[in-house]
Structure 1
Amino acid sequence: MSIPASFRRVLEAGDPNWESGQNPELVVVYGDHRRSYLECYTITAIDEVNEKIDALPRGSQERKMLQRLYDTQSQTLTVDETGRLVLPAKLRSKIDLDGEALFTGAGDTFQIWNPTTYDNEELSKTEEWLDALPEDFDPLMFLDGVPANAGRET
């Protein structure tokens, strides 16, 4: 599948080993049985996640489970020279993908969905959330008073 150009630029910037003319790497986390999408991390982003996991107490249940979810249930892939990503059968099967894929940006990661699953799960959640708000409510109001760099680590 072809990765959108804007996503490829992020992958290149987030791969410390990438140089012009080379193909960037990324880590695809397929996760547990509840996850119905693939989450794609730059090398830098997954390194940050792993550093935080490693900071948890050795032997703790949280550390073991997060290592399992993010280390064991992930795969490092390389974007090819045409900007495409070849997903192994195991990953395609995980999200029941046999045709077109939907890419969604999610902060410092992006997700790959089966379009039908996305519509059934995520789009319906968004619609339910919006329907619970007054008709004239602008969701951007939730951002009032939030600093522009809130949530970003330095």
Structure 2
Amino acid sequence: MSDFAGTFPGSFDAKKGRISVPAAFRSTLARLGAEEIILRSSRFFPCLEVWPKPDYMAEFDRRTEGLSKLSAEYQAISRKLLGRVHTLRPDAEGRVVMPAPLAEKAGLDGELQFAGRGAFFEIWNAATFAEEEAKLDALDDGGDV
């Protein structure tokens, strides 16, 4: 499992359609030998997930192990997990050009938050992230988290 942890501010250069991956996350990607990253819309939150490509493909392989490539189940999983993603290669400074449909769906415009989630990290609109964090804080009852 990767170790993407922490939250880092960033920005979205809408004119160039570009973001820069935080140095801490670039270091993790380099340690993993991940030259490419997979971007996908989160199924649960209004943000993007960013996975090291080898880890994402390993997850795909785990989910489809033993399935016939011709089966409906395999085709549905591959359509969801492979057909709806974008594979990108960050440049030497960790910059990538954000696919416009993903940026629009996540509401990226200006200030961002990058949030580590262990195996992957997320990219959020900063205001939306603050709202979600406030909701999470309101649910905190002093439990074990």
Q: TM-score range with shorter-chain normalisation?
A: 0.7 to 0.9
Larger Rg computed on CA atoms: 1
Q: CA deviation at 1:97?
A: 0.8
Query: Which residue, 74, 84, 101 being the options, matches 1:73?
Result: 84
Indicate the structure with greater strand content: 2
Aligned-residue CA RMSD (Å): 2.2
Could you say which residue in structure 2 is the equivalent of 1:30?
41
Equivalent residue for 2:115? 104
Map 1:78-89 → 2, pairs under 5 A: 78-89=89-100
1:11 match: 29
Structure 2 Cα separation of the partners of residues 71 and 101 of structure 1: 25
1:73 deviates by 1.1
Q: State the 4+ residue runs in structure 1 displaced beyond 4 angstroms.
A: none
Amino acid at match of 1:87: M
User: Following TM superposition, by how much is the alpha carbon of 1:66 offset from its aligned partner in structure 2, in angstroms?
Assistant: 3.1
Structure 1: give runs of 5+ residues left out of the alignment: 17-23, 141-154
Q: How many residues align?
A: 125
CA contact (8 A) 2:112 2:125 kept: yes
Q: Equivalent pairs: percent with the same residue?
A: 27
- Structure of greater relative contact order (alpha carbons < 8 Å, 6+ residues apart): 2
